[in-house]
Amino acid sequence: MMEKPEELKLLDEKGYRIDGRKKYELRKIDMKIGVLKNANGSAYVEWGKNKILAAVYGPREIHPKHLQRSDRAILRVRYNMAPFSVEERKKPGPDRRSVEISKVIRGALEPALILELFPRTSIDVFIEVLQADAGTRVAGIVAASLALADAGIPMKDLVSACAAGKIEDELVLDLNKEEDNYGSADVPVAIMPIKNDITLLQMDGYLTKEEFLEAVKLAIKGAKAVYQKQREALKEKYLNIISEEE
């Protein structure tokens, strides 16, 4: 978090945010499914200025072999940012932040999968952030979940995600970059909406218990709205295929 320039107001008197949104309004989200030829499943998500591509390979043979599990598949996740995705060029390859995000995203997706169905294999999820503008991990989860569905991997539910945060002493939904930089808390949440299971939850900031729970509830609401968009995107692709065959 950076020191906020005095003159910068993240919320105006009428309660509008710097990008014109209201407090509980999501940014514009577009989803496309099956955008890559080689991957078994793929999805592209534009979420505000975030541009994120996810691909799934597998279930497939594992390399190196010693990682094989005789009773189930292993899930591997790599979250990676392109050097040109941020204001100042990012050195290519994994930094500590990406390593942590890859790990928590794996934990967010795993509960939705039935890994026992594919012993001795791996399911590999690759998330490439082509442009970043806050909320890349939640957008990455949304894209990855669509790519898993596109790959035909059996899932208990889609995983949806959204972040809430605090700016100018108010809780708001779906922080953009300036709000993330100068705000006082960021709470990314992923859920499996059917049973209201929280599969990713982090908090970076300083909140009372009450504020934190409010933020979680707000993020869950956001994730449920995103979930509807995910379902529509899947329907758009797969219902079209069915009607073409008819």
Binding mask 51-80 for other proteins (x = CB under 8 A): ------------------xxx---------
Give the whole-angstrom CA distance, residue 144 versus residue 161.
Answer: 11
Report the C-alpha dihedral over residues 75, 81, 82, 84, rounded to 10 degrees.
170
Encoded amino acid at 42, one letter: S
| Residue whose CB is less far from other proteins, 30 or 170 | 170
> CA dist 120 to 67, 155, 180, Å?
9, 18, 41
CB of 74 to other proteins, least distance (A): 11
Q: Which CB sits closer to other proteins, 29 or 175?
A: 175
Q: How many residues bind other proteins (CB under 8 A)?
A: 37
CA distances from 209 to 43, 150, 197, 206 (A): 36, 38, 20, 10
Name which position in 26, 164, 172, 192 contacts other proteins (CB under 8 A).
192
Q: Let me know the angle formed at the C-alpha of 114 by 234 and 97, rounded to the nearest 5 degrees.
A: 75
Binding mask of the shown chain, residues 88 to 127, with x at each position contacting other proteins by CB under 8 A: --------xx-xx-xxx-xx--xx----------------
According to CB under 8 A, which residues from 196 to 225 bind other proteins? 196-209, 212-213, 216-217, 220
Cα–Cα distance for residue pair 44/127, rounded to 1 Å:
10
| Interaction site with other proteins (CB under 8 A) | 2-3, 69-71, 96-97, 99-100, 102-104, 106-107, 110-111, 187, 192, 196-209, 212-213, 216-217, 220
